[in-house]
């Protein structure tokens, strides 16, 4: 299926999803979310894909937020349902069976930052700007930003960003722990691909388990998290990839993982 508001490229084991409304700085509208929902199902169903990269088309924005021109026409109930749609799509990224990396190439504002926070981690261009400016519109974040940002950087820093609506640069985002790495603008995709390709060589069941366990455990107390890890460890050990990895070590050779997944 061809899309109008996003681009989905699959190159061997790496899928790259571009937000593709560069004239509106890739602002998120209903149609874009519908397409993304379908694309994420395709990615999830394609067992050859091992890593997803999310980025913005054009050289200015990752995503500059929800489409304000569309938002302004909504009544409160339509707004609530739009907010729920965005929450569901970003939770779908979080629940993907493969790692997702955000390559933030410019503005990541409002829904843009919320999209990036749905990914497992973020690399950013030196030119990137991050913020939740909804307060300047008389609104609050509605695609999971109040929840994911506070969990990522702590309550007080998240509240300061949400209450002031001020943007922070990539360096500050690094300091806050929003991004893992700040890259030269021309090298952003190269750096992201390098990490994505490294991850793609690992066992898929182990990756899937690790992703699931970290996320579920963070929403639970430590003892519950340890139990979840314990069960997932047993499941991971049952995989052919675990046999290959451990035997390859003892045979002093490089492991070749089949990449099966549940």
- Which residues are near ligand CO8 by CB under 6 A? 24-25, 27, 64-69, 71, 79, 82-83, 107, 109-111, 133-134, 137, 141-143
Smallest separation (angstroms) from ligand CO8 to the CB of 23: 6
Beta strands in the chain (DSSP E): 6-11, 14-19, 51-56, 61-63, 100-104, 107-109, 121-125, 129-131, 168-169, 181-183
Residue 238: other Cβ atoms inside 10 A = 10
Residues in contact with 38: Cβ distance below 8 Å, sequence separation at least 6, in sequence order: 1, 3
Catalytic: 223? Answer: no
Chain length of the chain: 262
Residues in contact with 89: Cβ distance below 8 Å, sequence separation at least 6, in sequence order: 33, 36, 37, 40
Smallest separation (angstroms) from ligand CO8 to the CB of 75: 11
Cα gap 210→214, rounded to integer Å:
6
Question: Residue 75 burial by CB count (10 A; 0-12/13-18/19+): exposed, middle or buried?
Answer: exposed
Residue number with CB closer to ligand CO8 (25 or 228): 25
Smallest separation (angstroms) from ligand CO8 to the CB of 140: 8
Cα gap 234→230, rounded to integer Å:
7
First to last CA, the chain: 25
Smallest separation (angstroms) from ligand CO8 to the CB of 174: 21
Read off the tokens for 107.
């503005």
Residue number with CB closer to ligand CO8 (39 or 115): 115
Question: Annotated catalytic residue: which of 4, 70, 114, 155?
Answer: 114
Catalytic: 70? Answer: no
Residue number with CB closer to ligand CO8 (2 or 75): 75
Residue number with CB closer to ligand CO8 (6 or 49): 6
Residue number with CB closer to ligand CO8 (71 or 104): 71
**Shortest-Cβ-distance residue relative to ligand CO8:** 110
Query: Does residue 253 come out as left (phi exceeding 0), alpha (psi in the -120 to 50 range) or beta?
Result: beta
Question: Annotated catalytic residue: which of 134, 160, 175, 190?
Answer: 134
Smallest separation (angstroms) from ligand CO8 to the CB of 145: 7
Catalytic residues: 114, 134
């Amino acid at each position: 299926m061809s899309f109008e508001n996003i681009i989905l490229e699959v190159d061997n084991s790496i899928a790259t999803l571009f937000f593709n409304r560069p004239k509106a700085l890739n602002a998120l509208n209903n149609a874009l979310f519908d397409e993304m929902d379908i694309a994420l199902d395709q990615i999830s169903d394609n067992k050859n894909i091992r890593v997803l990269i999310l980025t913005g088309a054009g050289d200015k924005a990752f995503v500059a937020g929800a489409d304000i021109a569309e938002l302004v026409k909504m009544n409160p109930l339509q707004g609530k349902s739009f907010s729920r749609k965005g929450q569901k799509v970003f939770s779908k990224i979080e629940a993907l069976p493969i790692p997702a990396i955000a390559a933030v190439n410019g503005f990541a504002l409002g829904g843009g930052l919320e999209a990036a926070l749905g990914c497992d981690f973020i690399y950013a261009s030196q030119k990137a700007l991050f913020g939740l400016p909804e307060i300047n519109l008389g609104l609050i974040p509605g695609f999971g930003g109040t929840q994911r940002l506070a969990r990522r950087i702590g309550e007080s820093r998240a509240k300061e960003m949400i209450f002031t609506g001020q943007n922070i640069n990539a360096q500050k985002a690094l300091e806050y722990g929003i991004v893992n790495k700040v890259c030269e603008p021309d090298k952003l995709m190269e750096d992201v691909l390098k990490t994505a390709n490294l991850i793609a060589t690992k066992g898929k069941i182990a990756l899937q388990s690790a992703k699931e366990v970290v996320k579920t455990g963070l929403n639970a107390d430590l003892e519950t998290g340890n139990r979840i890890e314990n069960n997932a460890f047993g499941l991971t050990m049952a995989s052919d990839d675990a046999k290959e990895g451990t035997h390859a070590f003892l045979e002093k050779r490089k492991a070749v993982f089949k990449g099966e997944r549940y």
